[in-house]
A and B are shown apart, each in its own frame.
Chain A
Amino acid sequence: MTTAVADAHDAEHHDDHGPTKGYKRWLFSTNHKDIGTMYLIFSLVMFFVGGAMAMVIRSELAIPGLQFVHPEFFNSMTTMHALIMVFGAVMPAFVGLANWMIPLMIGAPDMALPRMNNWSFWILPVAFGILLSTLLMPGGAPAGGWTMYPPLILQTGDAFPFLIFSVHLMGISSIMGSINVIVTIINMRAPDMSLLKMPMFVWTWLITAYLLIAVMPVLAGAVTMLLTDQFFGTSFFLAAGGGDPVMFQHIFWFFGHPEVYIMILPAFGVVSEIIPTFSRKKLFGHDSMVYAASCIAFLSFIVWAHHMFTVGMPLTGQLFFMFATMLIAVPTGVKIFNWVATMWRGAMTFETPMLFSLAFVFLFTIGGFSGLMLAIQPADVQYHDTYFVVAHFHYVLVPGSVFAIMAGAYYWLPKWTGHMYNEKLGKLHFWASTIFVNLTFFPMHFLGLAGMPRRIPDYSTQFTDFNTIASIGAIGFGLSQLLFVAVLLTAKRGEKATDRVWEGSHGLEWTVPSPAPWHTFTTPPKARIANEAFD
């Protein structure tokens, strides 16, 4: 096993050499910054691929009736959009941020297992190549929903084994990435950087990595059982053979609910870095934030059945999952109030990363509150499988996770490129995104409350107005993201960034030059510097 300790030792003798030239730099890279960059670019590409599928969905739903696509293809679009956005866009974006920033934040020369890092990235394009290839297969891409419930998913045509194989590959990639994060944080911290002195982004990623190694294998187990049910004559989930389709739902959501926190805990970490910087204050209640994130992670394991209240379960089960779910509001509230307390009487300025973070706090909270409504079992029987659920999870994942990724990208971009990005363009991107994201997803609450079911390509005419508004919002949101591409393309034209970049920034990552050199912290930072950065 090659470790970064050995590599760092070599690097001390080769400090002056840069990356190799050409494609080999990227294909064989073991450098955390290069791999982080590849993850981020990959996730952006997938964001646009998944976004294009969302455009198909919203175009079809702009007016009642069937106008552009067949219902089967519509179902493929909803399935593929979800799989791509969850596993291809949001998760790899946070892994990219982790790759870039964790070693810089803890004063490590690289990730602890650099070669495994290369593997965990390069498995991803293969996995998504396989998944996307199903669009060209007879019978089309998977259309049974990202939750892959049997027996419906077993009706998928030729695409089925490819779906299962690609989900396995995504799982392997995530597990390898999370092992790397855990090993790096546990073993490679700067001298005297105790666990409770770690930045919040590092903490939230450590907790996320533990969640990942616990639940990604569960998803892999579930889809392995689907595979054997389809091809090897087992009956794990087939009622005709004595199996239980509801057991799949239990197993899937044992993975699926922590998965939600896998996509939001690193977002909490990013926002917890940004708000103190632009409030020019220390993060309020750092330790309580750590305990709150740990509580959220623990609770995420014991609430899964709130996704399946309508399958029927004993009253005690309904009550347990309802109250356990509501309990998550407590540690989440701790985080929200701590961010507000951090801003309280701070010398706040509103650069693009701060604007995205503020929008995150407001809009994620809306998603949290609608989640609380869905947690109420008797009410959930009405909300279940309606657009209210679609509105809820999109508020958590778009102005939640995606806005935090955007905030992080703007915040650290000057450290990556060595130049300040175009602030005017950044603010335009923020305002367009914020207006359109609300225009898209807020009306879906009303549609859901009025009873419009999800995953349906056509609808009753009474739902027309809100659907048309949502579709206009979605197309506006999609186009707004081109502004982000413009920001990236012009990122190196701005004025030179200082090492510290932001007036209120603190932490080891701001002690290295901008752009961050290819090798950093080849010798561990002095304890005094590390302490000054964190105290």
Chain B
Amino acid sequence: MDEQERKKNIRRTALIAAAVALAFYVGFIMMGVMRS
């Protein structure tokens, strides 16, 4: 794997992980909004 491709993979993995974290944060607040 060349360096450019590895850099791209690193960015992609980081963004996916950050998106998962954000989804849990927003998702649980939305659940609270819908219940209250």
Report the separation of the CA atoms of residues A32 and B27 in the bound assembly, to the nearest whole angstrom.
33
Report the separation of the CA atoms of residues A244 and B34 in the bound assembly, to the nearest whole angstrom.
12
| Count of A interface residues, CB-CB < 8 Å | 36
A113 CB → nearest B CB, Å: 6
Contacting chain B: which of A234-242, A267-275, A457-465, A488-496? A234-242
Knowing A221-B32, A234-B36 are in contact, say whether A187-B25 is a contact too (CB < 8 A).
no
* Chain B CB within 10 A, most for which of A187, A216, A244: A187
Knowing A113-B14, A183-B13 are in contact, say whether A247-B35 is a contact too (CB < 8 A).
yes
Report the separation of the CA atoms of residues A441 and B24 in the bound assembly, to the nearest whole angstrom.
36
Q: Is A25 an interface residue (CB 8 A)?
A: no
- What are 28 A-B interface contacts by the 8 Å CB criterion? A1-B11, A3-B10, A5-B6, A5-B7, A112-B14, A179-B14, A179-B17, A179-B21, A182-B13, A182-B17, A214-B20, A214-B21, A214-B24, A215-B24, A217-B21, A217-B22, A217-B24, A218-B28, A221-B24, A221-B26, A224-B29, A236-B33, A241-B36, A243-B36, A244-B36, A251-B28, A251-B32, A254-B28
Q: Which residues of B contact A251 (CB under 8 A)?
A: 28, 32
Complex contact A5–B35 (CB within 8 A): no
Report the separation of the CA atoms of residues A243 and B36 in the bound assembly, to the nearest whole angstrom.
5
Q: Is A175 an interface residue (CB 8 A)?
A: yes
Q: Is A186 an interface residue (CB 8 A)?
A: yes
Q: Which residues of A contact B21 (CB under 8 A)?
A: 175, 179, 213-214, 216-217
Complex contact A187–B36 (CB within 8 A): no
Report the separation of the CA atoms of residues A281 and B32 in the bound assembly, to the nearest whole angstrom.
51
Q: Which residues of A contact B3 (CB under 8 A)?
A: 5-6, 9
Complex contact A236–B36 (CB within 8 A): yes
A335 CB → nearest B CB, Å: 26
Contact of B17 among A5, A183, A221, A242 (CB under 8 A): A183
Report the separation of the CA atoms of residues A1 and B6 in the bound assembly, to the nearest whole angstrom.
13
B9 CB → nearest A CB, Å: 5
Contact bitstring A1-25, B, C-beta under 8 A = 1, else 0: 1010110010000000000000000
Q: Which residues of A contact B36 (CB under 8 A)?
A: 234-236, 241-244
Q: Which residues of A contact B13 (CB under 8 A)?
A: 182-183, 186-187
Q: Is A222 an interface residue (CB 8 A)?
A: yes
Given contacts A1-B14, A224-B29, A236-B36, 13 further A-B contacts (CB under 8 A): A3-B11, A5-B10, A6-B3, A112-B14, A113-B10, A178-B17, A183-B17, A187-B6, A214-B24, A218-B28, A220-B25, A221-B28, A225-B29
Complex contact A218–B6 (CB within 8 A): no
Q: Which residues of A contact B6 (CB under 8 A)?
A: 3, 5, 187-188
Complex contact A221–B25 (CB within 8 A): yes
Q: Which residues of B contact A244 (CB under 8 A)?
A: 35-36
Complex contact A213–B9 (CB within 8 A): no
Q: Which residues of B contact A175 (CB under 8 A)?
A: 18, 21
Report the separation of the CA atoms of residues A218 and B23 in the bound assembly, to the nearest whole angstrom.
10
Q: Which residues of A contact B24 (CB under 8 A)?
A: 213-215, 217-218, 221
A364 CB → nearest B CB, Å: 29
Q: Which residues of A contact B29 (CB under 8 A)?
A: 221, 224-225
Q: Which residues of A contact B26 (CB under 8 A)?
A: 221
Q: Which residues of B contact A113 (CB under 8 A)?
A: 10, 14
Report the separation of the CA atoms of residues A456 and B11 in the bound assembly, to the nearest whole angstrom.
50
Q: Could you tell me which residues of chain A, from 383 to 402, have a CB within 8 Å of some CB in chain B? A: none
Report the separation of the CA atoms of residues A214 and B10 in the bound assembly, to the nearest whole angstrom.
19
Q: Which 10 pairs of residues, A with B, have the shortest CB-CB distance?
A: A217-B25, A221-B28, A217-B24, A179-B17, A213-B21, A183-B13, A236-B32, A221-B29, A217-B21, A183-B14
- With both beta carbons as reference points, the residue of chain A lying nearest to B29 in the complex is identified as A221
Report the separation of the CA atoms of residues A236 and B6 in the bound assembly, to the nearest whole angstrom.
44
Contact of B10 among A112, A218, A224, A247 (CB under 8 A): A112
Knowing A187-B10, A213-B20 are in contact, say whether A247-B25 is a contact too (CB < 8 A).
no
Q: Could you tell me which residues of chain A, from 164 to 184, have a CB within 8 Å of some CB in chain B? A: 175, 178-179, 182-183
Q: Which residues of B contact A235 (CB under 8 A)?
A: 36
A54 CB → nearest B CB, Å: 32
B26 CB → nearest A CB, Å: 8
Contact of A247 among B9, B18, B23, B32 (CB under 8 A): B32
